[in-house]
Amino acid sequence: MLELKDICFEKEHKKILDHINLTFDPKRFYVMTGPNGSGKSTLVKIIMGIEKPDSGQILFHGKDITHLSLDERARLGFGYAFQQPVTFKGITVFDLLKLAVNQDLDKEEAMEILMRVGITSRHYLEREVNHSLSGGELKRIEIATVLARKPLVSIFDEPEAGIDLWSFQSLIDVFQQIESTSKGMTLVISHQERILNIADQIILLEDGKIKEVGNRDKMMPLILNHSKKMEVD
């Protein structure tokens, strides 16, 4: 359903992405991993339309979307959870969920969405989406805004970054649930073994190139060896 053809991207004369070719199938759960600076975040930003590639093509159901903007892709059914959740002044959790679904939502429906990310108390609806919420809470709300839209393509950039151990446990549950129920495809950037273990396919990126793609059984030993080797180096 989604195809990346020969994607290249440079920043300040440094090659960040070097001829990336990837194909994503519907209903599958992909996890992309690789060392820091390997180009993972840039690649998902290019898929979402936040960055533009220098060359290459992005096809969605066979249609070239390379030149579509971020909001145009969002309207096509792309969803993106930011690594650093964005905060707002004067916008409540309820407001943000209504904006995410772009229609009127009653409180029950909003709570159903929040329950999916492990938020069960109604008083969160009236809280402002600012730093009075903890990092873990902001992260879950960020994920909820993506789930609320029921995207065809859901992208999560390092959902585990900046959250505590307790929040991490419930995050795993959230992703397990996405893996088993989502009708679209999901792409998660993660370094966590427990998230890698949910994946149908794992993509290993290194120095802006696809090092290897495959299922868990093939990829997990490779990744563990790879990270050990990196530690020795």
Partner 1 sequence: MQETDKSLLEQIGASDIETSEVYNIRKNGKCIGRKTNPYIDILSKEDGKGIDVHVKDNTLFGMVHIPVIVTESGFTESVYNDFYIGKNSNVIIIAGCGIHNDHHKNATHNGIHRFYLEENAKVKYVEKHYGEGTGSGDKILNPVTEIYMKKGSMMTMDTVQIKGVDSTNRETFAKLDDDTSLVVQEKVLTSNKQFSKTNFKVKLKGKNASTHITSRSVATDSSYQEFHSNIIGKNACYAHVECDAIIKDQGKVKAIPEVYAKHVDANLIHEAAIGKIAGEQLLKLMSLGFTEKEAEEVIIKGFLK
- Residue 102 binds to partner 1 (criterion: CB under 8 A): yes
The SS3 assignment for 221 reads: helix
**Binding residue (CB under 8 A) for partner 1 from 91, 125, 172, 220:** 91
Please check whether residue 65 is in contact with residue 73, taking contact to mean a CB–CB distance below 8 angstroms.
Answer: yes
Q: Report the relative pairing of strands 63-64 and 78-81 from DSSP bridges.
A: unpaired
Least distance from C-beta 94 to partner 1, angstroms? 12
Rounded to whole angstroms, what are the CA distances from 229 to 37, 88, 194?
17, 42, 20
- Residue 125 binds to partner 1 (criterion: CB under 8 A): no
Site string for partner 1, 164-203 (x = CB under 8 A): ----------------------------------------
Measured between alpha carbons, how far is 68 from 153 in angstroms, rounded to an integer?
A: 15
The residue (of 69 and 225) whose beta carbon lies closer to partner 1 is 69
Largest CA distance in the chain: 55
Residue 66 CB partners (closer than 8 Å, separation 6+): 52, 53, 56, 57, 58
Give the range of 6-14, 86-94, 170-178, 194-202 binding partner 1 by CB under 8 A. Answer: 86-94
Q: Which of 12, 43, 25, 10 is nearest to 157 (CA)?
A: 43
- Residue 21 binds to partner 1 (criterion: CB under 8 A): no
Please check whether residue 82 is in contact with residue 33, taking contact to mean a CB–CB distance below 8 angstroms.
Answer: no
The residue (of 142 and 179) whose beta carbon lies closer to partner 1 is 142
**Binding residue (CB under 8 A) for partner 1 from 6, 25, 71, 112:** 71
The residue (of 81 and 219) whose beta carbon lies closer to partner 1 is 81
- For partner 1 (CB under 8 A), the number of binding residues is 23
- Residue 6 binds to partner 1 (criterion: CB under 8 A): no
Measured between alpha carbons, how far is 73 from 50 in angstroms, rounded to an integer?
A: 10
- Residue 25 binds to partner 1 (criterion: CB under 8 A): no
Least distance from C-beta 192 to partner 1, angstroms? 23
Measured between alpha carbons, how far is 147 from 81 in angstroms, rounded to an integer?
A: 9
**Binding residue (CB under 8 A) for partner 1 from 17, 58, 65, 74:** 74
The residue (of 125 and 222) whose beta carbon lies closer to partner 1 is 125
Residue entry with tokens 């893996």 = 179
Residue entry with tokens 């990270």 = 227
Eight-state DSSP code of residue 20: E
- Binding residues for partner 1, rule: CB under 8 A, are 48, 50, 69-71, 74-75, 78-80, 82, 84, 86, 88-91, 95, 99-100, 102, 145, 149
